Structure 1
Amino acid sequence: MKLVYQLTAIILIMVLLVSCGGRATTGDETYDNGDSDEVVQPDEQQGDNSEGQQDVGSDVSGSPANAAESYGAYIEAKGEVVTTLTDALASNPGTELDSISLLGVVMVDMALLPASSFGLGQVAASTTLGFLGAEDIEYSENGNEYSVKYRGDEGEQFELQGVYDKAADALKCTSLKDGKESLISEYRKTSFGYVAQIYSINEDGSSYLYQLAISGKDGAVGISEASAAPSALTGSETIDFPKQCTEWYAIKGDAFTGVTSDGRELSFEYTPSEDGE
């Protein structure tokens, strides 16, 4: 699981490097790497046109400059907590196999990878998905709405749609495979960190709900079978929000608690393994 987050981090870094190499644009434009013959405008004229260009760096207030930067910060925070929970279960006698339950909440990040290009343009999307062998990559955006379409190595047609609320630092994504919804994911910034939920639909028709609360290195992940997508997040959820699920795992400092898929209650002191440090 740690490898998945490391791979995601590497791809995110590559995308940011590409975006920093030139001017981010909409899906119908390309990056300006300084090779064009475009005349440099005076400062006043550049100020008039700057609103039409997408930001690459953070704004003065420190909030994310765009959806891609917001998503990267969320994924980093999520990865730290999920890795800790996984390591705690895998290294504690008697709970090693329970760590497999967290595999699903990790693997969905691969389907959401196109979100790392939201707000950065076609080149960033092509870099992100081309790294994984995707073809026919099409990026588009309209205001705060984004779409990345691509073809998989077996001919499947994928699309990730996203809507970013910058004021709330919240992103909701819908993943489609051959025109059918396969994943709905959203996260919101809160006073303590993040809350998130992921509704995943399997090919056999079964579906699962993952709910997360993240506060620095502390947090919780809940897992339940679900028959329908949950209500949208409000941002008023608490750090214990995921504990409403039938199965959940939480870490606070070195105190690990949880309820397994077969109903066993867990409570033990977490000692990081060499892999988890």
Structure 2
Amino acid sequence: MEKKEMIAQIVARVADRLAQAGESVTAEQIAEALAEIDKLPGLLILTQEHGCDCHKLLESSRIKEKYRTSCALLQEYQVDMDSIDTVVLFNLTTEAMCKIASGITDTPYTKLAAEALLSGKKLYAAQEEVELCRYPAGAPGSYRCMMQTKLDKLVSWGLKICPAGKLEDCILGESALAAEALKENIPAEKAPEGAPAAENPKESAPAEGGAEKEITFCKRVITERDVIEANRNNVKVIRVTERNIVTALARDAAAAGNIRLVKE
């Protein structure tokens, strides 16, 4: 049976059921409604295992107003990426994260994620679904930094991470708070009261006598880009707290720019 014939039969059945219920909706009207839905951009849920959280997003009425939703797992990963505008990653394990960041596509999950990146699709992930984010910042330094560089790569390539509670707002672009959460890649509500915007570090003006310029970042992850920008602003000291994670590339940039990382 061809696709058009199948759709026609489905439309006829729906129209018949509605008629039995006393609803005056014609098959033509239903077909028009389906055509309008087909015009919406596609949003793909990409996960390695079934879970209630991804199903909530899949069935969200707010999301369905703007997107045609589908689940790669339910489709056995047979996805036409050309019809997809946005991809939401669930169950992003450290193994999958490292594979995607290294260009290894030996599973249906990593293959579709790589295809989405190469196709320039919008990519989102809930922080709670990123396995690396579940480990404490105080995990063994060099190994944690190595893993963090993998996640930083994905973020630099377009992956946006935000708290699960703000995921819909971030996808729909409806919340300023969610936008701050995207910048920070950590829950916005965890930022300390009175703290400046997530991307803006606290700068200490040079003291009299030519003291070195210092900054303290309010964001959790200090990246290579942050250090390069600090170097452009003639910063010589970056104060690092227990809360901060400094990526390996950021440390290299600091060494190249003669910037000292001072632990507090």
Fold match (TM-score > 0.5): no
- The higher radius of gyration belongs to 2
Task: Give the shorter-chain TM-score range.
Answer: under 0.3
Higher strand share goes to which structure?
A: 1
Q: Which has the higher contact order (CA 8 A, sep 6+)?
A: 1
